[in-house]
Structure formats: structure tokens, C-alpha cells
Amino acid sequence: MAETVAIASDHAAFDMKAALADWLRDQGHEVIDLGPDSTASVDYPDYGYKLAQAIADGRASKGIALCGSGIGISIAVNRHPAARCALVSEELSARLCREHNDANVIAMGARLIGIEQARACAAAFLSTGFAGDRHLRRVDKLSNPAFDKESA
């Protein structure tokens, strides 16, 4: 099923972002490329925040965040309460983050995985649905900012 996918990176992952955006379009997805537009040095939080906002605004149903390691941009995306971003480096994690955690964004590290693995992760992420059921209660807790000591 084709989706609208927002994609963003920092300078370290610019080439991977461009390649993934082209591949996503070839797969029939609409792509919102949030930048950057070159390999000039940028700050990953700026692009992680842009991606999270695109999810929150409903401009995209899913997102792919990229930086050198994937760690920094995943932290930035997860600062927004509408985003559930999982750092992945292989297909099983990409599938499980959708199935169990209803992740709406994946992050990957361009310095850690190659483009073929990134495509495989993106394909697994985009083709997997949320299982709901027992997982729904847990995902709902992720969106609730109040910490309840009784349930901890």
C-alpha cells in the first residue's frame, strides 16, 4: 500500500537519503523530502524536528530519519509526542517496531548500514501493520506524559 513518507537526514546521511527517496518513489510512495539539500554540515536535531512535525501535522503517515549513526536524529524525532521513532539496522527490528510499538518513524545510521540494508528495513517497516491487541495498552502509555507510580 502506497503511503506518504517524510524523509530527513543530516549531512552524513545525505547520499543515503537521496537514494532512499528515489527508491521509495519507485515503489509508488509519495515522498516529502525535508532536507538537507547538500552534504554541507547541518545539525541533525533541526531535521529530526522537521520530520516529527510532518508526522504530527498529518502531512506524512510514516517517516524515515537518517544521520551518521541514526542515534542523534532518533532522539530528536522522539522529542515530539506524536512521533514514535525506532532506531533499526535490520529487517526484524523494522518489522517489530511497527507490529509491537506502532512506530511511525524509523531511524537508520548511514555510516553503519549500506543502502541495500536500508531499503530492506524501509520495506519491512512500510509493509507491516500494527498488531494492536495487548500492544495497544502499552503504546497508549507512550503517549501519556503522566507517570503513574502505581502502574510502574
> Mean pLDDT, consecutive 10-residue segments, the chain of 152 residues?
93 98 98 97 98 97 98 96 95 95 96 98 92 70 62 54
User: CB–CB of 70/105 below 8 Å?
Assistant: no
| pLDDT at 140 (0 to 100) | 72
CATH label of the domain that carries residue 39: 3.40.1400.10
Q: What does the alpha-carbon distance between residue 83 and residue 110 come to, in Å, rounded to a whole number?
A: 21
| pLDDT at 152 (0 to 100) | 52
User: CB–CB of 125/106 below 8 Å?
Assistant: yes
Q: Domain containing 111: what range? A: 4-151
Clarify whether 67 is annotated catalytic.
yes
**67, 85, 97, 121: the active-site residue:** 67
User: CB–CB of 111/69 below 8 Å?
Assistant: yes
Query: Which residues, at least 6 apart from 88, have a Cβ–Cβ distance to it below 8 Å?
Result: 70, 94, 97, 106, 107, 108, 121, 125
| pLDDT at 145 (0 to 100) | 61
Single out the residue of 38, 112, 125 nearest to residue 68, CA to CA: 112
Single out the residue of 63, 130, 79 nearest to residue 102, CA to CA: 130
Clarify whether 100 is annotated catalytic.
yes
> Total structural domains in the chain?
1
